[in-house]
């Protein structure tokens, strides 16, 4: 097995591997056919990550140069985010995942690594915890259909973030959760793809009380990442974002299971659980005080 960085000539081959890995794993282990029959939508993940963190994907190839697996990583001020990690079904259980992760750990040097993984996947759970990752938070991935007429009582306090908000958003996340990802927020607000929405809510004194990102991709509508000082503010951000940007659409989001108010409201909106997840950290894990909505795209553990 050889480890190298992903090259542009491999993007389609990797999209096929992402699809095969997730599709085969879920069909054979969980009896769930959630990833469809097409590999082309998986180019989205590669395109988003190469735009956000160019060159930050380790790939494993066999002796004839065929891809066996991949691990995207996301260097930030305080830590390195990891994900998505995939191995080709023909190579499951042969040490490829471990080799990829060990290379990402080497690249991170001494920085902590953070990721969100499925809590229903013993293979990834075992891979990460054997490497020393420690679960910090129980999460639940949900999907809901937003009514065409919108959600009653949506906030008037929310506003779209501007370039002038970037530092304040990154500082707010650092104060709340001890991690900083200014690059992400610049990327969302610059919004070259046109898919990103970033909203903020301020206190009366003009300081931030919370922010929430949403993405409207051709194939997926996602809420997250976002952080708020309390559940009431996050609920306001969620409701406002769903109402303003996603009327009549299906939207996916990941909630911390201990946020009972958010979970209760999601069920009241008709949201359904899709998966349980864990936010895990290798290395120093600052206490997370903020109400945090992570997401998989881009990985934001
Ligand atoms: C999850 C995934 C990346 C793992 O990759 P892999 O190459 O099969 O994993 P590896 O063979 O390198 O290692 C798995 C490790 O878990 C251990 N393991 C597996 N099942 C275990 C169990 N039930 N209990 C304890 N350890 C277990 C293995 O022994 C190995 O540890 P070791 O290297 O210390 O011996 C792969 O199964 C995959 O691509 N799945 C589909 C996509 C996916 O779910 N990705 C993760 C998204 S979060």
Q: Which 3 state secondary structure label does DSSP give 270?
A: coil
Please tell me whether residues 151 and 286 are part of one structural domain. yes
Instruction: Give the residue from 166, 224, 177, 163 showing the smallest Cα distance to 78.
Output: 177
Burial 93-109 (b: 16+ CB within 10 A, else e): eeebbebbbebbbebbe
DSSP assignment letter at 61 = E
Beta-sheet pairing, 57-61 with 2-5: antiparallel
Please tell me whether residues 165 and 285 are part of one structural domain. yes
Please tell me whether residues 107 and 226 are part of one structural domain. no
Beta-sheet pairing, 250-256 with 134-145: antiparallel
Please tell me whether residues 275 and 154 are part of one structural domain. yes
Residue 26 CA: nearest ligand 1 atom is 41
Bridge partners (DSSP) listed for residue 4: 59
Q: How far is the CA of 216 from the centre of ligand 1 (A)?
A: 32
In a domain, 300, yes or no: no
In a domain, 226, yes or no: yes
DSSP assignment letter at 180 = -
Distance between CA atoms of residues 181 and 20, nearest Å: 31
Name residues contacting ligand 1 (CB within 6 A). 21-22, 25, 84-87, 92-98, 117-118, 121-124, 126-127, 130
In a domain, 171, yes or no: yes
In a domain, 137, yes or no: no
Give the pLDDT score at 219. Answer: 87
Give the pLDDT score at 171. Answer: 98
Q: How far is the CA of 39 from the centre of ligand 1 (A)?
A: 23
CA-nearest residue for atom 15, ligand 1, is 127
Distance between CA atoms of residues 301 and 208, nearest Å: 21
Please tell me whether residues 63 and 152 are part of one structural domain. no
In a domain, 94, yes or no: yes
The H-assigned helical ranges of 152-251 are 166-177, 182-190, 231-245
Segments forming the whole domain that contains residue 226? 142-293
Please tell me whether residues 61 and 165 are part of one structural domain. no
Please tell me whether residues 102 and 159 are part of one structural domain. no
Q: How far is the CA of 128 from the centre of ligand 1 (A)?
A: 8
DSSP assignment letter at 174 = H
In a domain, 121, yes or no: no
Distance between CA atoms of residues 245 and 48, nearest Å: 20
Please tell me whether residues 23 and 76 are part of one structural domain. yes
Please tell me whether residues 57 and 149 are part of one structural domain. no
Give the pLDDT score at 216. Answer: 96
Torsion angle in degrees (nearest 10) through CA of 15, 20, 25, 26: 80
Last residue of a domain, one of 96, 111, 126: 111
Structure-token pair, residue 48 = 């988003």
In a domain, 118, yes or no: no
CA-nearest residue for atom 25, ligand 1, is 126
Spell out the per-residue pLDDT of the chain, length 301, in tens. Answer: 999 999 999 999 999 999 999 999 999 999 999 899 999 999 999 999 999 999 999 999 999 999 999 999 999 999 999 999 999 999 999 999 999 999 999 999 999 999 999 999 999 999 999 999 999 999 999 999 999 999 988 877 899 999 999 999 999 999 999 999 999 999 999 999 999 999 999 999 999 999 999 999 988 999 999 999 999 999 999 999 999 999 999 999 999 999 999 999 999 999 999 999 999 999 999 999 999 999 999 988 8
Last residue of a domain, one of 62, 90, 111: 111
CA-nearest residue for atom 24, ligand 1, is 126
Among 123, 254, 297, which residue has the most ligand 1 atoms within 8 Å of its CB, making it the best to mutate?
Answer: 123
Among 21, 42, 68, 87, which residue has the most ligand 1 atoms within 8 Å of its CB, making it the best to mutate?
Answer: 87
Q: How far is the CA of 198 from the centre of ligand 1 (A)?
A: 35
DSSP per residue over 111-123, as a string? S-EEEEEETT-HH
CA-nearest residue for atom 19, ligand 1, is 123
Please tell me whether residues 88 and 149 are part of one structural domain. no
In a domain, 125, yes or no: no
CA-nearest residue for atom 36, ligand 1, is 87
Alpha-carbon 236 to chain mean position? 21
CB 158, CB 201: distance < 8 Å = yes
Q: How far is the CA of 97 from the centre of ligand 1 (A)?
A: 6
Last residue of a domain, one of 61, 89, 111: 111
Q: What is the CATH number of the domain that holds 159?
A: 3.40.630.30
Please tell me whether residues 105 and 172 are part of one structural domain. no
Q: How far is the CA of 88 from the centre of ligand 1 (A)?
A: 12
Give the pLDDT score at 234. Answer: 98
Q: How far is the CA of 49 from the centre of ligand 1 (A)?
A: 23
Distance between CA atoms of residues 222 and 214, nearest Å: 6
Number of domains forming the structure of the chain: 2
CB 262, CB 292: distance < 8 Å = no
Structure-token pair, residue 204 = 């009366």
Backbone angles phi, psi at 275, to 5 degrees: -165, 155
Residues 6+ apart with CB under 8 A from 229: 176, 209, 210, 290, 291
The H-assigned helical ranges of the chain are 11-29, 43-52, 96-107, 122-130, 166-177, 182-190, 231-245, 260-268
Q: Which 3 state secondary structure label does DSSP give 255?
A: strand
Please tell me whether residues 186 and 251 are part of one structural domain. yes
Q: How far is the CA of 11 from the centre of ligand 1 (A)?
A: 24
């Amino acid at each position: 097995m050889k480890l190298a960085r992903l090259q542009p000539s491999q993007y389609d081959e990797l999209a096929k591997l992402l699809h095969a890995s997730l599709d085969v794993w879920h069909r054979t282990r969980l009896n769930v056919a959630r990833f469809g029959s097409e590999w082309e939508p998986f180019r989205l993940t590669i395109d988003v990550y190469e735009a956000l963190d160019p060159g930050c994907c380790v790939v494993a190839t066999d002796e004839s140069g065929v891809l066996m697996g991949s691990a995207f990583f996301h260097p930030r001020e305080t830590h390195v985010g990891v994900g998505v990690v995939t191995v080709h079904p023909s190579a499951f259980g042969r040490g490829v995942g471990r080799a990829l992760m060990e290379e990402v750990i080497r690249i991170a040097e001494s920085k902590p690594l953070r990721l969100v993984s499925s809590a229903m996947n013993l293979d990834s759970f075992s891979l990460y915890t054997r490497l020393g990752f420690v679960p910090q938070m129980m999460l639940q991935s949900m999907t809901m259909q937003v009514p065409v007429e919108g959600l009653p009582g949506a906030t008037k306090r929310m506003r779209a973030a501007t370039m002038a908000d970037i530092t304040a958003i990154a500082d707010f996340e650092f104060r709340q959760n001890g991690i900083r990802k200014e690059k992400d927020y610049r990327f969302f607000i610059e919004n070259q793809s046109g898919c990103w929405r970033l909203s903020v809510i301020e206190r009366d004194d003009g300081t931030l009380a919370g922010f929430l990102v949403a993405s409207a991709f051709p194939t997926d509508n996602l809420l997250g990442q976002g952080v708020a000082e309390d559940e009431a503010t996050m609920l306001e951000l969620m409701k406002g974002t769903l109402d303003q940007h996603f009327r009549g659409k299906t939207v996916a989001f990941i909630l911390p299971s201990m946020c009972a108010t958010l979970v209760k409201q999601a069920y009241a909106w008709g949201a359904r659980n899709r998966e349980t997840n864990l936010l895990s950290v290798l290395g120093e894990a600052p206490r997370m005080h903020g109400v945090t909505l992570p997401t998989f795209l881009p990985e934001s553990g």
